[in-house]
Amino acid sequence: MAESNNNKNGYEIRQGLLAMAQRIVEQNAHMQYEQSDKKNWTDITSEQIVKVADELNVFVQKKD
Q: How far apart are the C-alpha atoms of 8 and 13, rounded to whole Å?
A: 6
* Regions in the chain scoring below 70 on pLDDT: 1-5
Residue 39 is predicted with a pLDDT of: 80
Residue 52 is predicted with a pLDDT of: 97
- pTM confidence score: 0.78
